[in-house]
Structure 1
Amino acid sequence: MTQSADTLLQVSDLTLHYRTRRGTARAVDGVSFDLRRNEALVVLGESGSGKSSLAKALMRLLPRNIERFSGQVMLGDMDIMQLGDEAFRKQVQWNRMALVMQAAMNALNPVVRVGEQVAEPLRVHRGWSKDRAMERVAETFRKVGVSTDFLQRYPFELSGGMRQRVVLAMALVTEPDVVILDEPTSALDVLTQASIMNVLKRIKREEGTSFILITHDVATSSELADRVALMYAGQIVEISDARDFFHYPAHPYSQMLMDSVPRLHQAEAPGYIPGEPPDLIDPPTGCRFADRCPSRFSKCSQDPPAFSPDERRRVRCWLHEDEVARGS
């Protein structure tokens, strides 16, 4: 994968396998993509496709049962996979890359005031004084739409939407280059979801922050996405500009996924995807979507590479082999 001048993050063949009693679970299996400056990349996929494991791999928040963790992750001109744990913690984690986890209440300490929790990355990673850190926290609270009156409150005193904004402030307070958002609106009502997405769009526009938004919600993701990467069974099967993906999906899984999304004034019933995702401990040989694919043919028994029908799209499907060959 060639790195362009505006590439901020370049991930190549990233692999994260877990050791379980039943065998090795291939949660992230050779994933490659890039993130540009001031870009929002949405990672879509069903539950169990490896999206959250991808976030953990990028942030190196790994459980103990790791079987394999490998690949190359270039942040600017630095391969952060080559850093030791201590160097990674000091140079990357919460400084240049930050994570907004699922379930905001679980990410906050219930017995510590939220202002102090948001200030912690500045005090631990930057060595700032308490007063200086709290000034930055107050500034960041205002950016995400939280009154500074909330600085002295405990998490249980806030609504779900406010807690989510506090966790977002915790990720933004160090002004990182990349913010990874793992299902940031999944537990919120529709109006609060829209409010959070508006905050993210404003921060991206005003601060130039790059986002990786991990979600299964197609409708919400379309609000922020510049590009979309679709994960299936631990692999990225399509990565496209958002407009191309939402209007002209290329992979059969992408097409069926978009067909399953209800639309206003839609005459026909939404479609559905038959079957279920494969077991990541014993994935099928060849294309992992083949058993559910209406376009399956003999070559699908072989593992497809990522074809590039045009410069804006990569698709892991044999149906695009002839299209690429004709283009060349």
Structure 2
Amino acid sequence: MAVTANPDSPLLEIEDLRMQYRTEQGPVNAVDGVNLEIRRNEALVVLGESGCGKSSLAKVLLRTLPRNAGRPTGQVRLDGRDVLALSEERFRREVRWVRIALVMQAAMNALNPVVRVGEQVAEPLRIHRGWSRRAAMARAAEAFEEVGIATDFLQRYPHELSGGMRQRAVLAMALVTDPDLVILDEPTSALDVLTQASIMNVLKRIKRDRGTSFVLITHDVATSSELADRVALMYAGQVVEEASAEAFFTAPGHPYSQMLMASVPRLRQEEPPVPIPGRPPSLQDPPTGCRFAERCPRRFERCAEDPAVFHPDARHRVRCWLHEAGGTG
């Protein structure tokens, strides 16, 4: 259930968030000083190559980390309250699937194969809201209709649904408790192009009709542009650029952003896509200074130092010394 708050204040504020995985070879800095802000009725897309820390960020926000994860540091403020400071039980009762829900990457893995889909969609209401089975199933039917699935499929098992329908069912499960924020972790990566477009249209309609905020985690630039109000680009555990969707897709500020956009095929483009050379650095032993410097064609002496965050304009942040003349944030 949404909490009454100042509509002009951020819904979620992430400040200096850090998290390491413990491994036999040493700690892995999966989330390394992330600062982000998500407003109400806003879709923030978190872009980046595999291994950059996107999914780890989602796991920190939902507190669904594996056993080898260290305790996160920093703050995650939901309507001004630091939810990282809550006990696990309070977080489970007051935040997870109540105010923040998750749509996982592989829908088949997110669903129990021996339980009917309708029962699984209704389950969050029974656990977190204490609803009766009848009331929860009625709400699950409404959620099915919202995401474009006939209510007849409530009685089906996951294997009886197509990949696209399973993804819609998982989306219905996330929406059934009416959360303020839904985190989508690569929700369309296993789907064909037409089904991807259909799912994105559902998300846009829900955002418009319900005012739900979304964090879409993906490496797919084309798909992300369909939903994004803002874009945060991660590289080696850090956010290297955050901007409005219009600014990011038309005039990106970081060299990595520019090279990423140049690598995307376009329908009306004479020049062929240009791949990004090299590979991301190890999060176990990240380089000093700018982490993109080794792959950057515009690197210079100052890149040996850890870049400050600069503001080319309001709500546009770039972690790159090339913007030093514009002033720091």
TM-score (norm: length of structure 1): 0.97
Q: Does 1:115 align with 2:103?
A: no
Structure 1 residue 174 and structure 2 residue 174: aligned?
Answer: no
Of residues 80, 96, 101 in structure 2, which corresponds to 1:98? 101
Contact 1:237 1:316 in 2 (8 A): yes
In the alignment, the residues of structure 2 paired with residue 299 and residue 217 of structure 1 have an alpha-carbon distance, to the nearest angstrom, of: 31
**Residues 1:324 and 2:315 aligned together:** no
**Counterpart-to-counterpart distance in 2, 1:163 and 1:10:** 31
Query: 2:311 aligns to what SS in structure 1?
Result: strand
Q: Give the alignment partner of residue 85 of structure 1, picking from 79, 85, 88.
A: 88
* Equivalent residues of 1:18, 1:68 under 8 A apart: no
1:55 Cα deviation from its structure 2 partner: 0.3
Q: Percent identity?
A: 71
Residue 196 (structure 1) aligned to one of 191, 195, 199: 199
2: CA distance between counterparts of 1:48 and 1:15?
A: 15
Aligned AA (2:24): R
Alpha-carbon separation, structure 2, partners of 1:188 and 1:23: 36
The CA distance in 2 between the partners of 1:51 and 1:117, in whole Å, is 27
Return the offset for 1:320. Answer: 0.5
Question: Match for 2:302 among 299, 303, 316?
Answer: 299
In structure 2, how many angstroms separate the alpha carbons of the residues matched to 1:251 and 1:105?
Answer: 37
Write the distance in 2 (CA, Å) between the matches of 1:302 and 1:17: 22
What CA distance in whole angstroms lies between the structure 2 residues aligned with 1:282 and 1:226? 33
Shift of 1:265: 2.5
The answer for the alignment partner of 1:185 in structure 2 is 188
Quick check: 1:212 aligned with 2:215?
yes
- Alpha-carbon contact 1:304-1:317 (below 8 Å) kept: yes
Moved over 6 A (4+): none
**Runs (5+) with no aligned partner, structure 2:** 1-5
Correspondence 1:152 to 2:155: yes
Q: 1:39 is matched with which residue? A: 42
Counterparts of 1:72 and 1:312 in 2: how far apart (Å)?
20
Q: Is the 8 A contact 2:12 2:37 kept in 1?
A: yes
Q: Which amino acid aligns with 2:327?
A: V
Inter-partner Cα distance in structure 1 for 2:96 and 2:58: 12
Q: Deviations over 1:151-198 (max 9, x none)?
A: 000000000000000000000000000000000000000000000000
CA distance in 2, matches of 1:67, 1:118: 31
1:270–1:162: structure 2 CA closer, same or farther, 3 Å change rule?
same
Greater mean alpha carbon deviation, residues 59-68 or residues 277-286: 59-68
Number of the residue aligned with 1:311? 314
Query: How far apart are the structure 2 equivalents of 1:182 and 1:65?
Result: 21
Conservation of the 8 A alpha-carbon contact between 1:119 and 1:133: yes
Offset at residue 266 of structure 1 (A): 1.3
- Confirm or deny: 8 A CA contact 1:108 1:117 kept in the other structure: yes
Please tell me whether residue 8 in structure 1 is matched to residue 20 in structure 2. no
TM-score (norm 2): 0.97
Q: Determine if contact 1:27/1:53 at 8 Å carries over to the other structure.
A: yes
Are positions 1:258 and 2:228 aligned together? no
Instruction: Give the structure 2 partner of residue 223 of structure 1.
Output: 226
Number of paired residues?
324
CA distance in 1, matches of 2:22, 2:235: 20
- Partner residue in 2 for 1:281: 284
Unpaired stretches in structure 1, ≥5 consecutive residues: none
Counterpart code for 2:16: D
Shift of 1:309: 1.4
Q: CA RMSD in A?
A: 1.2
Cα shift readout 1:70-95 (whole Å, capped 9, x = no counterpart): 11011002110110000000000000
- Contact residue 252 and residue 258 of structure 2 kept, 8 A: yes
Displacement of 1:136: 0.5
| Other structure's SS at 2:50 match | coil
CA distance in 2 between partners of 1:122 and 1:75 (Å): 21
